[in-house]
Amino acid sequence: MSNQELPNARTAARPWLRDLLGELARQPAGVAGFLMLALFLAGAVFEKRLITFGETDSRWHDITYWDEQPADAAPFWTNAFASQKSAVSLLLSPSSSAHESSGGARLLTHVFTFPYRYDLPPRDLVVRFRGAGDLPVAVTMTRPDGQEITLDQEQVSAGSGSDVRVSVDKSAGQAALGFLQGNESVDVMAGVDADRIRPTSVLFSQAGPGMLAKPRALKGDYTIRLLVVLVTPTAQISRPTLVVTGRVSGLLGTDNSKRDLWSGVIAGIKWALLIGLLTAFVSVAIGVVWGVTAAYFGGPVNWLMQRIFEIFSNQPVLPLLIVISAIFKPHIWFLIVIMAVFFWTGPVKTVYAMALSLREETYIEASRALGAGSARLIFRHMVPMLIPYAFASMALSVPGAVVYESTVSLLGLGDATIVTWGQILHDAFTGGAVLGGLWWWVVPPGLMIALMGMTFSFIGFAMDRILHPKLRRR
């Protein structure tokens, strides 16, 4: 008397699973689904390498982190379709550095070369470094036509160590005005409102009369020099960088808070996967066990379980989810728990019907005759037979969970410590992206939700087709 003679459900389930995976490999939809899932998983695993801003995940809602980016900028590749090419956002390291000392003071020169090949100038150039002590700083620019302009001179107190930023847009207004005066006539200059001049559009234009009204881009290599005098021995600077704040930026552009959307969209992958998979797994697991247990026991237990099921299945989940989120402001983990608590009703009816017929199988009877308890019968003999169905059901409930979280976030009720696609779309909607035509802000996050839904619906429908072969053709 041993397991060899009785069909053990666990060993019986394994070929089932292998068959299922084998069949899936023969379904084009299943293959497509698994390929897309592999891409999403790769996106989540290699997130740090894919995104351009390393701290996207933790600092998405920290506006200072994104300050050097342009706001509402289109993706850089839109230049390919534009007649006038816009300057692209860049980070440049010094192309050369020099170091002189004279009488105790040291003069540091960092030279940046900015190759400007566009028609529309960048919005800003920012020279950034980490400094310590009192630092006299000067920033100069040598244009391709040989003209040299001193953009800014100032005395910076960096204290014991802080980030110093010199913005051309903010501090080179006078320099730009001076440069303009050297080229335009007195009449033109009389009508100029000094506050309305964009320094970058003057500095990147061909010099000569008419450069204000009809600027033409002066293309070529611009040399920007950062000169710092270190007076005291403790004074120092490190990590000098030139930030070019372009008109187009990144793979997917930026939003109105200057955030890089590509980084946000990629950082959202792992949250969508987590929300979808965890909710689907927990809820289907509860549903399967619930249905089997109710069918197995029957009688009053079944009656009670059916009534509880009715209460949950008669509840519109999304409105309740929204209200709970509005009132309790849940953390993402708590939201997943709530979703699981309300999603489990999905598979119950089918599982119940399947378990009713399973209960009558002879191997169950045999096992019971051998003295197997209820728990053993349910978990070792009945639940494993439903695993293929459970997998299909899980795959098909992933998109629902992702969409529901996005919808809750769309209303502005998302967890503010993370970044999800729904939150990006909330910002886009309230930020006027829809009626402002900022498509790069609206399309990518929604497309990701759609693709995530597609991935799991391909897998789920492929499984479904394997489980119901009658539905394939006439």
Partner 1 sequence: MYLRYALRRILNALAIFVVEMFIFSVLFTATAERTLRAQIEESLQPEAARLRNATAEQVQRFVTERRAYLYHASHLDQPAFARVLWRTLDTLTFQFGNSITIKSSRGERGVWRIIAETVPPTVMLFTTSIVLQVLVGVWLGIKQAQRAGRTLDKSASIVTMVVYGLPTWWVAMLLIMLLAYALPIFPSGGMYALPPPNGLASAIDVLWHMALPVITLVLVNFWGVALLARNIVLGILQEDYISAARARGLSERAVLYGHAMRTAAPPLTTIALLSLLSSVFGNIIFEGIFSWPGMGNLYWISIEQGDTAVTLGLLAVTTGLYVAGLAFLDLIYGLLDPRIKTGTAP
List residues binding partner 1 (CB under 8 A).
29, 310-311, 314-320, 322-324, 326-327, 396, 398-400, 402-404, 406-407, 410-413, 425, 428-429, 434-437, 439, 442-443, 446, 449-450, 452-454, 456-458, 461, 470-474
Smallest separation (angstroms) from partner 1 to the CB of 265: 14
Smallest separation (angstroms) from partner 1 to the CB of 275: 13
Smallest separation (angstroms) from partner 1 to the CB of 404: 8
Smallest separation (angstroms) from partner 1 to the CB of 52: 24
> How far, in Å, CA of 351 to CA of 227, rounded?
74
User: Of 327, 334, 311, which Cα lies nearest the Cα of 405?
Assistant: 334
Element (H, E) at 444: helix 439-467
Element (H, E) at 127: strand 124-132
Residue with Cβ nearer partner 1 (237 or 438): 438
Smallest separation (angstroms) from partner 1 to the CB of 349: 12
The answer to whether 146 and 220 are in contact (CB under 8 A) is: no
Phi, psi of 118 (to 5 degrees): -110, 175
Chain position carrying tokens 């160590």:
161
Phi, psi of 251 (to 5 degrees): -70, -35
Smallest separation (angstroms) from partner 1 to the CB of 193: 32
> How far, in Å, CA of 257 to CA of 278, rounded?
31
Residue with Cβ nearer partner 1 (253 or 384): 253
> How far, in Å, CA of 336 to CA of 443, rounded?
25
Q: How many CA atoms lie within 13 A of 98 on its CB side?
A: 9
Concatenate the DSSP letters of all residues of 82-100 into one string: -SSPBPBPEEE--SEEEEE
CA angle 334, 336, 340 (to 5 degrees): 120
Residue with Cβ nearer partner 1 (319 or 371): 319
Residue with Cβ nearer partner 1 (58 or 430): 430
Residue with Cβ nearer partner 1 (180 or 410): 410
Smallest separation (angstroms) from partner 1 to the CB of 433: 8
Residue with Cβ nearer partner 1 (98 or 304): 304
Residue with Cβ nearer partner 1 (190 or 435): 435
Q: How many CA atoms lie within 13 A of 303 on its CB side?
A: 2
CA angle 37, 321, 342 (to 5 degrees): 70
Smallest separation (angstroms) from partner 1 to the CB of 252: 16
Residue with Cβ nearer partner 1 (53 or 271): 271
